[in-house]
Amino acid sequence: MRGPNVGVRSAARVQVLPVAPPYDLNRTLDCGQVFRWQFTGPVATGVFSGHAVRVTQEAKGVRVEGELSPQEIVRLRRYLGLDEPLADIERQLCRDPVLARIIPTTTGIALMRQDPWECLISFIISTWNNIPKVEQSLAKLAAKFSDSPVEAPCPSPECLAGATLRALRGCMLGYRAPYIQQVARAVASGGVDLAEIGRMPYEEARRALLTLPGVGEKVADCMLLFAYGKYQAFPVDVWVKRAVERGYFRGRARTHRQIQAFAAARFGAIAGYAQQHLYHYTRTAGRARLGASTRPVTDPRRRRPRS
């Protein structure tokens, strides 16, 4: 195994991956689908395929710094959604009058193709939680249980399967600790095969995910959308629920079921993209407009370590 002292910084390979408009790296990494990329100005830092990586969007494309093989670059393209047909998708979505009004401020969001395991852990932790704390929990998990020289975004199932509840609770997981331990054991033992679930048709995959502890409809839909590329999935969290109620039902309350049924009928095979735009809009530009917020947006990525 390669040591950590290869000099990722000085010997970093740099290349620019061409990308078609309207792709927006910043929005893609910051719209809530992934938790482990840190922004310093326009530069996003993260880990991909066991390598420290920096990505920046430039005029010519996405600049990538990191020790990535050609094959890993291919996978990175897919991970970042660089080849998503966004112009076409957004054109379709803009037939909807509400999205037509929203998309000018959210254009360029691409659905990523995340590692199912990392995605699962991230969204189990996200339940009834806030984003800064989710990020802290994941960082602590990685620091505490990481089994490779370069800190992975998320420790392996085997690693977490061996963790004690007490140690897991030390990562600010609270009542989610048993869920994490149980899914880790299920996946590590082979009883649950996340890759196999990804190959199932949408409904079947959804049912399989819903059997996992700590996984309800919202988390299952996030897996389907962010890890498995099943774009008919429409995760309904409080923000999206509110956005749909305000945008399409004159602010009248709808049940979770009604929201899902509406999204399926209205957006069909690209409901997941509609969800991303609605979500991102309500959390940013739409805040003042929707008037539902009681506190200003704080940017969790600009946290400074306290002394």
Partner DNA sequence: ACCCAGGTGAGGG
Partner DNA sequence: CCCTCACCTGGG
The residues that touch DNA, with contacts defined as CB under 7 A, are: 32-33, 126-133, 169, 172-176, 179, 210, 212-220, 222, 235, 237-239, 255-258, 279, 294-295, 298
Q: How far is the CB of 27 from DNA (least distance, A)?
A: 12
Q: How far is the CB of 279 from DNA (least distance, A)?
A: 6
**Which one, 96 or 237, has the nearer CB to DNA?**
237
**Which one, 85 or 216, has the nearer CB to DNA?**
216
Cis ω on the peptide bond leading into residue 132 (within 30° of 0)?
A: no
Q: How far is the CB of 206 from DNA (least distance, A)?
A: 11
Residues 6 or more apart in contact with residue 114 via CB below 8 angstroms: 33, 34, 79, 226, 227
**Which one, 69 or 211, has the nearer CB to DNA?**
211
**Which one, 20 or 175, has the nearer CB to DNA?**
175
Quote the CA–CA distance of 71 and 58 in Å, as a whole number.
22
Q: How far is the CB of 12 from DNA (least distance, A)?
A: 29
**Which H/E stretch holds residue 175?**
none
Q: What are phi and psi of 296, to 5 degrees?
A: -70, 160
CA-based nearest residue to 47, from 4, 11, 91, 18: 4
In what side-by-side order are the strands of the sheet with 43-48? 14-17, 61-65, 51-58, 43-48, 38-40
Q: How far is the CB of 158 from DNA (least distance, A)?
A: 22
The conformation of residue 302, written as its DSSP 8-state character, comes to G
Quote the CA–CA distance of 2 and 153 in Å, as a whole number.
18
Q: How far is the CB of 56 from DNA (least distance, A)?
A: 21
Q: What are phi and psi of 229, to 5 degrees?
A: 65, 30
**Which one, 57 or 137, has the nearer CB to DNA?**
137
How far out from the chain centre does Cα 297 lie? 19
**Which one, 235 or 247, has the nearer CB to DNA?**
235
